[in-house]
């Protein structure tokens, strides 16, 4: 259960990082 929460957290973090990268480009 904790592992799935961590996975979701990293997924959200990755999406934000991708969005910021697109904004920079």
Alpha carbon distance 11, 23 (integer Å): 19
What's residue 1's pLDDT? Answer: 76
Q: What is the pLDDT of residues 1-25, one digit of tens each?
A: 799 999 999 999 999 998 888 887 7
Q: Specify the pTM.
A: 0.48
Residue written as token pair 């957290």: 9
Alpha-carbon separation of residue 10 from 3, 14, 25 (angstroms): 11, 6, 22
What's residue 7's pLDDT? Answer: 95
Token pair belonging to 19: 């969005």
DSSP label of 25: -
DSSP H or E segment with residue 1: none
Token pair belonging to 14: 């990755």
């Amino acid at each position: 259960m904790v592992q799935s929460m961590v996975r979701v957290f990293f997924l959200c973090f990755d999406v934000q990082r991708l969005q910021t990268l697109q904004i920079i480009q």
